[in-house]
Amino acid sequence: MKSTKSDQPNNNDKKMENLALHTEDGSGQAMTTNTGLLVNDDTNSLKAGERGPSLLEDFYLREKITHFDHERIPERVVHARGAAAHGYFQAYDSSFSKYTKAKFLTDPSRKTPVFVRFSTVAGSRGSSDLARDVRGFATKFYTDEGIFDLVGNNIPVFFIQDAIKFPDLIHAVKPEPHNEIPQAASAHDTFWDFVSLTPESTHMLMWVMSDRAIPRSFRMMEGFGIHTYRFVNEEGKATFIKFHYKPSLGMHSVAWDEALKISGKDPDFHRRDLHEAIEAGAYPEWEFGVQLVAEEDEHKFDFDLLDPTKIIPEELVPVTPIGKLVLDRNPDNFFAETEQVAFHPGHVVPGIDFSNDPLLQGRLFSYTDTQLTRLGGPNFQEIPINRPLNTVHNNQRDGHMRQQINKGKTSYHPNSMGGGCPFQAMIKDGGFSHFAERIEGSKIRARSKSFMDFFSQATLFYNSLSEPEQTHLSDALRFELGKVDILEIQERVVGLLTYVDMTLAKRVAEGIGLESVPEPQKPVNHMLGADANPTDYEPVIKKQAIEKSPALSMAGTKKDSIKTRQVAFLAADGVDADSLSSVKNALEAEGAVVRVIAPHGGFIKDSAGKQVKVDKSFLTFASVLVDAVYIPDGHKSVAALINEPDAVHFINEAYRHCKAIAADGEGVELIKASYVGVKLNETSDASSGIILSKDDKLAADFINAIKQHRFWEREKKDKIPA
């Protein structure tokens, strides 16, 4: 009987079977061109003979090379270096319906998908995560009513009051144009020249020179919407609001010396931390809330609600929680998602509207304009990561990289041929309508006098910090201004600091070698324009309603968990099995991550002869990459570590950066071999985060010490070379 076609062996099927063995997931995905044509040879270009020239007709070579040549898009002018994650937002209850008709904020049954991108601001894509800088905190809410983008930072104020100065600010802080130096740093002449002539920047400078600018991780920093927005309810009543994110793990920072070293050891430190935490199921979480100010109370404060260089102290208007933000999935592809995501403050939904903040108003133009260049044209919102959940219907057509295929003849409104579609939605059916604010005034280039107090909140911020935080801030100013080459600029900045705090000004002047604290140069404000009244150049300093705001200090943050904290166990062959495993089990039960660090990679053998996997060697790891250090018992292990200079340095450096250190049994001998042993006189000092013990309390005491994050008081009394 003659075989039918279906009885014949299918060579292509066999080929696909073989291919499946070589794919990452064994799914049998064969290579194709961009048009879907199966590729037979991805190794050799088409040539005229084996050693002849490549042929122009090789369409596959041309496609592959052309795509590669165009893989890179222009990086963001600011916020170029970022990391992102998917997650969700969920409201706690429906109580906010009295303030806003935004359904995702008032329906606790909804889990609104989000995509959050964190970033530094000044550096390029290849810069370090640990630069002293503002951190971007931008959230894309994929609501059922459209996209809402909350484009914020980890600092609630900004350098400037009006968007027209944004290009000047960024030109000043970016690398200097004659030599493209320095990268991702504000410690240079042009930045400090600009801010010394722009006193409205003073409040923001206090934040950027504080520990807030070098966070421990993206997961341990606050987020803010910066601007004053409005909620609008179903009745059309508006309420002024400020957006806040509060991290469930509390706010924590690193030491400046530590940040410098992390930049060398692991410049992807924050990116890696976010990715690994989510992969491990330790999902980052923030409480999302707002400060609410009734429209009739707009002018009751001693600052202007529309001024983006001002906060509303939480002691005056508490943050009211709305719901929680959780990040639970890493991107599948960095470029397609993290790099191509396009945020825009103008993307709002019914129930959320703008204020007349002049910085916000300028951003509403700038973000769209930027995406047109960066993402190739007006269809950037059709890129998958930018698409809304609800279907888009409008009369916008064509353009570069159009994805949507529109059917029908009509692309205009009004029309009869298309049945009038797409039709305009009524407000009661969810159509967006701006809050009907009454506006009167002359067309004028000017700044409101209510914006002219540049120093009072800078003083409030400085006074609210703990003593170690104030020390770090003054040290940061001394470091930054120490990099400035022009004496006149240094003097202008220190002169402005006298309006903030005279003690601070004196510390900084001394640190950069000024013989005395200079008088503030007059006029103080160079930014008001030629037609300004001379009296407007004099400093305005208003008495604040409160002298200190505990919410501004990181000292009082949550210290009730060691979840995701990285703890280094220093060990070598012969480490005591029980001393290692008992503390390891106790820490991991609390959610910490234990990393065994040894003189070599691979495995070491404990006292019971069992192999212990080494996570990192001293050659590839450092104390700056962990939150705490533990040395288990074991004579042979400790003896080997004492003879390992990197192990001794590990202890010294961890102590210098004020981290919790614990040692069990003979592990104390390694402490004695370091500078730390000299400082401690061989005694345990739990109040300073040093736990030296041989009893069952060691693990519990160590856990409590790690919860405190850092023991900054060491900096004041102990200077250890490391």
CB 379 within 8 A of CB 392: no
- Tell me if 216 sits within 8 A of 252, measured CB to CB: yes
DSSP-derived secondary structure for 176-236: BTTTTBSTT---SHHHHHHHHT-GGGHHHHHHHTSGGGSBS-GGGS-EE--S-EEEE-TT-
Q: Are 305 and 240 in contact (CB under 8 A)?
A: yes
> Is 153 known to be catalytic?
yes
Task: Pick the catalytic residue from 12, 34, 44, 79.
Answer: 79
CA 363 – CA 346 distance, rounded (Å):
8
Contact 256, 476 (CB under 8 A): yes
Distance of CA 125 to the CA centre of its chain: 14
* Centroid of chain to Cα 268: 12
Choice among 153, 154, 386, 525 that is catalytic: 153
Taking every pair of C-alpha atoms in the chain, what is the biggest distance, in angstroms?
Answer: 108
287 and 223 in contact (C-beta within 8 Å)? no
CA nearest neighbour of 700 among 624, 618, 587: 587
> CA 282 to CA 273: how far, in whole Å?
11
Asked whether 437 and 228 are in contact (CB, 8 A), the reply is: no
Measure the CA–CA gap between 628 and 710, rounded to whole angstroms. Answer: 9
Tell me which residue has tokens 């109580």: 95
* Annotation says 415 is catalytic: no
Residue 704 in contact with residue 559, Cβ under 8 Å? no
In this structure, what token pair is assigned to residue 1? 């009987």
B/e letters for 138-150, b = 16+ CB within 10 Å, e = fewer, are: bbbbbbebbbbbb
Would you please indicate which residues are annotated as catalytic (active-site) residues? 79, 153
